[in-house]
Amino acid sequence: MLKILRGGQRWLTALFVIGIGGVFVFFLGLGGPLSGRSQARIVEVGPHSFGLREFGRVRSRRETAVREQLGDAYDPRNLADTLDSLAMRELVDMGLLALAAEDLGLTVSKREIEQHVLSDPGFRDEAGRFSQPAFEDWVDFEYGSQRSFMQDQRLNLLIYKMMGVLFEVVHVSPGEVREYVRSQLQELSIAFVVVGSSTLPGKIEIDREALDEAVASRGAEIEGLYEELRSRYDVPEQVSARHILIRVEDDAEADEVEARRAAAQAALDRLSAGADFAELARELSEDVGTRERGGDLGFFRRGQMVAEFEDAAFALEPDQLSDLVRTDFGFHVILATGRREAHKQTLEEVYEELAEELLRREAGERRQRETVDRLADAIRAGQSLEAAAREAKIDLQRSGRIQWRSDGFVPGLGAEPELLAAAFGLEAGQSSPRVFTLENGLALVQVLERWEPEESEIAARLDAAREELRVAKREVRFDDWLGERRGSLIDSGEIVMNRDALGRR
């Protein structure tokens, strides 16, 4: 879910909405430095501090945006820490921009404050005149005091001015726009291999000596694996049974059904009279899969048999014989032979099994890495991925014609933006020796064909793409700038985030 949140919005967008509806009023004196806010300091950036009130406003705005983005998947309890982090991060970035603005000598004049308040339609009455009571009521409700309101809006104006300075230097050349459009309209087809534990042939054998050593020395890892696989060891209720089946065809007439019922009843009568179930099953049962085993089905849990059979079997006590049971297969006579109550296997019970699982995983990962490394080495030596995979007897998958997508979606792979970006950097016929780590294994890619867009297609997109590219470059520059500033101030101790203070909310 964090991937959805962080991938679906950028800090630039968030900062652009800071202070929406923010206004100043000409009769209020301009506030001093950004201090004197609510007493509990949540975030400090140099001389600027933000308290619970500021944190609450930013977090509320974040929460509204996330709720709209996730819809029914929104869970306020599970996302509480994430929302706290997003709000604190936004306050830090606000402080960074304000600091930079002040370092450049940017200021907010009284005239700018007046223009803000007079231009805001939210504080005008029906006749279009500025309403001081409406303004004062809103400020009191949202900020608690006019001083806090003014300090907040002064900060926002400084931020906007600093953002303007940053964005002034963003330039997009005609060549960049053309190349951007061309890359968006290009199409290619690719071949790829995904080497996972399930795709490699042969069973991994675990040496007894290595297993004993793992049991003796890797307790912490084995316990961690037990926690990871806990659901595997929640063993449900199970029963074991034998059965005799007298089949009934789907299209059987009524008299045929009755004749089959009579045959099943005759078997049940013989069993009730003391006949051996296993011997009678070998003689009469029409279930070829279990007949030679005397009708033995072994242990099974709920959900493994058809409902009518399952209900009858689980209602029996061990050694108890059922009445006739009708299913889509025909008529059954069931003998319960055992029962296991639902239970959880303890760590001690499965300790050696987990040690073997741990070693098997590690061996599988080594096999995956060795396999893709051999393919990558073959590519470096001049082979194509197609040829190397064929030689190694590894399945090669091919896509149809695909275009660049911002989410990195590749048919057959899902969202893999790094792999897709690498593919668009290759020429037709070229393979990449780079190994990509996917959720289900390790992958390599080759471009089979490329299709370039027509000049008319490129020309039709230039105007719209120019603004798209400008916005994209602004976001990258903005994020890079914030990252550099944030890192340097954290190192110098000028950024403080006090999570403990949030407990006072």
Which structure tokens are listed for 383? 């082979």
Contact of 49 with 37, CB cutoff 8 Å: yes
H/E stretch holding 86 reads helix 80-103
Q: Contacts by 44-48 with C-beta closer than 8 Å and gap 24+?
A: 44/95, 44/494, 44/495, 44/496, 44/498, 45/91, 45/92, 45/94, 45/95, 45/96, 45/98, 45/99, 45/489, 45/494, 45/495, 46/95, 46/99, 46/489, 46/494, 48/94, 48/95, 48/98, 48/99, 48/155
pLDDT mean across residues, the chain: 85
> What is the rounded average pLDDT of the residues 341-349?
90
Which has more pLDDT, 138 or 213? 213
Q: Which residues contact 131 (CB under 8 A, 6 or more apart)?
A: 123, 124, 125
Residue 7 clears pLDDT 80, i.e. is over it: no
3-state class (DSSP) for residue 330 = strand
The 10s digit of each residue's pLDDT in 230-256 is 888 888 999 999 999 999 998 999 999
Find the mean pLDDT for residues 376-404.
93
Phi, psi of 437 (to 5 degrees): -95, 115
Confidence band, pLDDT 50/70/90 cuts, at residue 384: very high
Residue partners of 334: CB distance under 8 A and separation at least 6 = 241, 242, 243, 309, 312, 313, 316, 321, 322, 325
Predicted pLDDT at 198: 63
Q: Give the domains, in start order, of the chain with CATH numbers.
A: 2-170+482-504 (1.10.4030), 184-202+367-453 (3.10.50), 237-341 (3.10.50.40)
The neighbour count for residue 300, using CB atoms within 10 Å, is 16
pLDDT at 38 over 80: no
Contact 267, 285 (CB under 8 A): no
User: Could you count the other beta carbons within 10 Å of the beta carbon of residue 443?
Assistant: 21
Give the Cα separation of 337 and 317 in Å (integer): 8
92-110 average pLDDT score:
89
Q: Which two tokens stand for residue 210?
A: 């290595």
Q: Higher-confidence residue: 197 or 209?
A: 209
Per-residue pLDDT, 242:
97
Q: pLDDT confidence of 127, banded at 50, 70, 90?
A: confident
**The one-letter amino acid at 21:** G
SS3 content of the chain, % helix, strand, coil (to 5): 55, 15, 30
Q: Distance (Å, rounded) from C-alpha 400 to C-alpha 391?
A: 23
Asked if 26 and 117 count as a contact pair (C-beta separation under 8 A), the reply is yes
The pTM for the full model equals 0.51
Query: Residues 167, 168, 174, CA angle at the centre, nearest 5°?
Result: 95
Mean pLDDT of 370-395: 94
Split at pLDDT 50, 70, 90, the class of 337 is very high
The band of 350, judged by pLDDT with boundaries at 50, 70 and 90, is very high
Q: Convert the pLDDT of each residue in 297-307 to its tens digit.
A: 999 999 899 99
Nearest CA to 369 among 308, 442, 433? 442
Residue for token pair 């780079």: 434
CB 386 within 8 A of CB 445: no
Tokens 């050349």 locate to 173
Two tokens at 499? 């999570």
Q: Is residue 333's pLDDT more than 70?
A: yes
**Distance in angstroms (rounded) separating the CA atoms of residues 143 and 38:** 10
Token pair belonging to 363: 């061996």
The confidence score (pLDDT) of residue 39 equals: 56
- Between 502 and 341, residue with greater pLDDT: 341
Nearest CA to 142 out of 79, 35, 61, 66 is that of: 61
pLDDT at 183 over 70: yes
Give the C-alpha separation, 87 to 81, whole Å: 10
pLDDT at 377: 96
Closest CA to 284 of 294, 296, 274: 294
